[in-house]
Every structure is written in structure tokens, then in C-alpha cells.
Amino acid sequence: MGTGVIEEILGLIFNFWIGLAVLTVILVKFSVRFVPQNMAHVVERFGKFNKTMEAGLNFIVPFVDRVAYHRSLKEQAVDVPSQAAITKDNISLVVDGVLYLKVLDPYKASYGVDNYVYAVTQLAQTTMRSEIGKIELDKTFEERESLNINIVNAINEASSPWGVQVLRYEIKDIEPPRSVLEAMERQMKAEREKRAVILESEGQRQSAINVAEGEKQARVLAAEAIKAEQILKAEGEAQAILAVAQAKAKALNVIGQIAISNEGQKAIQLELADKAIQARQAIARESSVVLLPDGDTGASRVVAEAMAIISTINKQRGDGAAS
């Protein structure tokens, strides 16, 4: 065998191994798939669903299998375009919102509906129009949270065959007609003025109550002060009367003790005689006619009469004590 033939054979073998290596690289490249986190790849074999590849290292058969759909398992925010809606009281509104959804089943999201994002958005618009038509204009602003919850529940019930779950729905803006806005502004202005008048009247009322309470407290305090003053004055007068009475009692007791003795009797007799003389002098000064008793009219006569009176009194006291 010639050298040229050997070189030709070696070249063929070398080319074979090179081709095999290239083919192996190509096969590995087309058969190995790395799926990112929170992603899912739907694989078809000969145009028919085969499997769903999840995050990580996966393998497919080259030229037989193909990745037909790439589905994100992350939560997605979808803007819902503005649309017209009519409330229960026939007021036209322009409403827009934002929808938060998540793919739960990549198979249903790929084969259950052509475009799940578009389908859910359309469903959100129709559901929002339906829910707004159940309530009046005033409640659309007050019950926005309950309105969002009702829309989410209605969408999830209808979108379950699509493998999609709506997590939240938020109404971004509700725009009523200009005439309604002007009427609402006038209403709010009237309400503010009404509250201002009520607050002012309440303030005046409370002020009057406070003044009346203050005057009442002042009168009560004044009456209590007068009462306390009268009580103190009465107590002072009572104590003064008691002190005078005690002093008189002591004086009478002393006089009585002294009057029992002989010296006291003599002093009393002299006092009575002096009183009798002063009384007759007073009568003489006041009257132009003076009546004189018969007999002796001297001082000894007057003293004798006074002493007779005292003796009679002492005798009566002695008889009373003996009995």
C-alpha cells in the first residue's frame, strides 16, 4: 500500500472524528436547555404537547422536540385601558385600572387561550362595567375596595380554564362628566359651609353653657360664702351669749353667796334704801304733786320700810327651805 493511500485513509479518519465531534456539539447544543428561574418552557414533539420544562437543566430530542411557548411564572402588571361605564343612576364614567396576574398552569395558558393577557384584560373591562352598573355614583368612590374585590372574584371564576390567576385589580382613576364634577364640587362646598355653621353654632352653644356654668358656680360659691359667714356669725353670737350668761350666772352665784351672810344683808338693805330714796326723788322731779306718807318721812322711815321688805323676803326663803 502506498504512502498516498495511507495518508488518504488517515485524512478520512481524521475528518470523521472531526465531523463526529462537531455533530456531538450540535446535538448537545440542541438537546440541552437551561430554563431560568420563574420560567416554564412548553415542549412539543411533532407538533403535539410533550412536556413542560421547569427551571434548571433540561433535555430535549433535537430535530424532534421544540420549545413552542415560553411562559413567565412571575406576577405581571397589565394596564387596563380607559373605558366608559354607566352607574346604576345612569351616570357615565370613564374608568381605568391595573391588573396583577400570574400564570399557574403553563399548559392551559398556552393551549387554553390564544393570548391570555389580552383575554384577561378584556374580561376585566367587561367585569368592571358590569360591577359599576350595580352601584350608584356616590358609592363608586366610597366602595372602591369592595369593587376591586368583586372584579377579581369574577375574573378568577371565568379565567380558571386559562391557567391564570388574577391576584389584584386596582382602579386607578374614575372620571365622571364635567357637569357631575361641578355638581359634586358645589355639593362639597355646601357640605363644608354647613359643617362650618354647625361648628360655629356648637361653639356658641358651648360658650353660653360655659358662661352659665361659670355664673352658676359663682352664685353657688357666693351663697356658700354667705352661709358660712352667717354660720360663723351665729356661732360667735351664741358663744357671746353663752359667755354673758355664764358671767351673769357666776355673778349671781357670787352675789347669792354674799347675800346669805350678815354683811351681805346689810349691804342689800343699804342698796334698797338708796334705791327707794332715788325713786322718790325721781317722782318728785317728774310730778308737780308730791304725796307724802303720814307720820315720819325721814330717811330712817324709808330704811325701816326697806328692811321690813327684806325681812319678809328672807322669812319666805327660810320657810321654803324648811319645807
Q: How far apart are CA 188 and CA 141, in angstroms?
A: 14
Is there a domain that residue 124 lies in? yes
Q: Are residues 146 and 166 in the same domain?
A: yes
Instruction: Name the amino acid, one letter, at 50.
Output: N
Is there a domain that residue 166 lies in? yes
Cα dihedral 55, 59, 61, 66 in deg (nearest 10):
10
Q: Are residues 35 and 87 in the same domain?
A: no
Is there a domain that residue 195 lies in? no
- In this prediction, residue 164 carries a pLDDT of 92
- In this prediction, residue 185 carries a pLDDT of 76
Is there a domain that residue 200 lies in? no
Q: Are residues 24 and 42 in the same domain?
A: yes
Is there a domain that residue 241 lies in? no
- What is the total count of domains within the chain? 3
- In this prediction, residue 269 carries a pLDDT of 67
Q: How far apart are CA 84 and CA 86, in angstroms?
A: 7
Is there a domain that residue 285 lies in? yes
What grid cell was written down for 74?
Answer: 412571575
Q: Decide which of 148, 176, 204 is a domain's last residue.
A: 176
Looking up cell 307724802 gives: 292
Q: In 3D, which of 176, 188, 22, 160 has the Cα closest to residue 104?
A: 160
Single pTM value for the model? 0.52
Is there a domain that residue 194 lies in? no
Q: Decide which of 53, 72, 91 is a domain's last residue.
A: 72
Q: Are residues 152 and 88 in the same domain?
A: yes
Q: Are residues 88 and 59 in the same domain?
A: no
Cα dihedral 315, 316, 321, 323 in deg (nearest 10):
110
Is there a domain that residue 23 lies in? yes
Give how far the C-alpha of residue 88 lies from the chain's centroid of Cα atoms, to the nearest Å: 35
DSSP track, 271-301:
HHHHHHHHHHHHHHHH-SS----SS--SHHH
Q: Going edge to edge, which strands form the sheet with 65-72?
A: 48-53, 39-45, 65-72
Domain around 305: 261-322
- In this prediction, residue 212 carries a pLDDT of 86
Q: Decide which of 176, 201, 229 is a domain's last residue.
A: 176
Work out the burial of residue 166: count CB atoms within 10 Å of its CB; fewer than 13 is exposed, 13-18 middle, 19 or more buried: buried
DSSP track, 65-134:
EEEEEEEE-S-EEEEEEEEEEE-TTS-EEEEEEEEEEEES-HHHHHHT-S-HHHHHHHHHHHHHHHHHTT
**Does residue 57 sit in helix, strand or coil?**
strand
What is the domain-level CATH number for residue 133? Answer: 3.30.479.30
Q: How far apart are CA 78 and CA 101, in angstroms?
A: 8
Q: Are residues 112 and 30 in the same domain?
A: no
Per-residue pLDDT of the chain (323 residues; tens, 9 = 90+): 556 667 777 677 777 788 778 777 777 777 888 889 989 999 998 889 999 998 888 888 888 888 889 999 999 999 988 888 888 888 888 888 899 999 999 999 999 888 999 999 999 898 888 888 888 887 887 788 888 888 899 888 888 889 999 999 988 888 887 877 777 778 788 888 888 888 888 888 888 888 888 888 888 888 888 888 888 888 888 888 888 878 877 876 777 676 666 666 666 666 766 776 676 666 656 555 444 455 444 555 555 655 565 566 556 555 654 55
Q: How far apart are CA 243 and CA 45, in angstroms?
A: 130
Q: Are residues 91 and 67 in the same domain?
A: no
